[in-house]
Amino acid sequence: MTERFEPSEGCLPLYAPGLDGIIAAETVLSDVDGAGGRLVLRGRPIEELAGKLTFEQGAAFLWRGFLPDEDLSDVKAGFAAARVAARQCLPAMKAAPGGLGVYELMRLGLEALPLTGTVRDAIVISGSLGYLLPAADALAHGRQIGAPDPSLSISADLLRLLRGKPARQAEVAGLDRYLVTILDHGLNASTFAARVIASTGADMRSAVLGAFGALKGPLHGGAPGPVLDMLDAIGDPEDAARWIDEELAAGRRLMGFGHRIYRTRDPRADVLREGLAPLRQQSGRLRSAEAIESVALAALKRHRPSRVLETNVEFYTAVLLDAVGVDRSLFTPLFALGRSVGWCAHILEQGKAGKLIRPMSRYVGQAG
Ligand code: ACO
């Protein structure tokens, strides 16, 4: 039995597993056209933004109208100040029990972050993650935690802190391209989680922490590390068909393929693949990744002829971030950094909508 309710006129109880096909929010932030394979952020196709804007510029673009103009005029300075302030989170992170991973340490840092309860918390949260990530990585691996350099952009400072020396400009640009590509993407699972929490009137930190949890799973933001594991396991593209057929026959999914909304190629896959051009000499993987991708697409077509299973964003996320020189254990933490901008925008948008998100369940248990 469905939870009882008084239906408004024209509104019938409806069960959609996974909320597939249900519209649960209105947004001005991003439009995901699943049939056409297009992603538009605030009226601009993703192809016009990624590779052209820095992460800071992308955040200012997405947050327009949600934060005061004076804050958006210099997000680079705002993010830099947030990285410096994030040093206050280090004692809480250091006090954590041993064995926690980077993602968990970042969450602890976020819990300890000084916030004001205003819309400006968006800048502090996203900016601080640019420091909490390399700090958590240093802590998890027993390395000395470096100090942030406020004169640098988030991408440049983060790569510098991770490797202990400045990154090349092409690597910084590659990371910026990635972070802008994944700024926002409709009502994906983590953004929905953030909006549900925000709809209860909870604070921005709580909503972002909820989104963090939702992002971690392998069906969402946890996929790119396993993509690289898959490419490694296959090794020679000549062996791809056998390896992939065995995986599919065993009932396992190929990471980096399939999407809830896209019924064609995820446009972000090509935006990220294009970012490999300046890094090409570093990406010995690219040619073999492309060959393996073709084999996988053909195998998926044979395996599920009735369902379009195309390349999604995570496949080339893995190849690009690997070429930038980021360890695969940091792919999901980096996803959280980039997507935190979208989460915060949706949290602020949900606050304006002011309606509690509370769907119903259908009772299929024992009769009472
Ligand atoms: N490999 C093999 N089979 C797949 C794959 C895949 N990558 N994706 C879907 N299928 C199959 C399913 O097994 C299912 O088959 P069945 O009907 O015989 O059981 C069918 O296609 C439909 O799958 P659903 O899970 O119902 O589709 P949904 O829209 O819910 O899933 C998802 C989308 C979770 C992304 C899925 O395609 C998947 O698991 N992909 C692999 C993980 C991945 O790459 N995640 C990152 C997604 S992008 C992002 O979140 C940023």
Which tokens go with 72? 């958006």
Ligand 1 mean position, distance from CA 142 (Å): 37
Is residue 272 within 6 Å of ligand 1 at its C-beta? no
The pLDDT tens digits along the chain (368 residues) read: 566 656 555 566 789 999 999 999 999 999 999 999 999 999 999 999 999 999 999 999 999 999 999 999 999 999 999 999 999 999 999 999 989 999 999 999 999 999 999 999 999 999 999 999 999 999 999 999 999 999 999 999 999 999 999 999 999 999 999 999 999 999 999 999 999 999 999 999 999 999 999 999 999 999 889 999 999 999 999 999 999 999 999 999 999 999 999 999 999 999 999 999 888 665 568 889 999 999 999 999 999 999 999 999 999 999 999 999 999 999 999 999 999 999 999 999 999 999 999 999 999 999 98
pLDDT at residue 98, rounded to an integer: 87
Q: Which residues are catalytic?
A: 259, 314
pLDDT at residue 4, rounded to an integer: 61
Q: How far is CA 101 from CA 108, 271, 349, in A?
A: 11, 30, 32
Is residue 315 within 6 Å of ligand 1 at its C-beta? no
Is residue 254 within 6 Å of ligand 1 at its C-beta? yes
Is residue 260 within 6 Å of ligand 1 at its C-beta? yes
Give the residue, by CA position, lying nearest to ligand 1 atom 2: 253
Which tokens go with 251? 């009932």
Pocket perturbation via mutation, ligand 1, pick of 259, 262, 313, 320 by most ligand atoms within 8 A of CB: 259
Ligand 1 mean position, distance from CA 259 (Å): 6
Ligand 1 mean position, distance from CA 5 (Å): 33
Residue among 198, 176, 194 at smallest CA distance from 185: 194
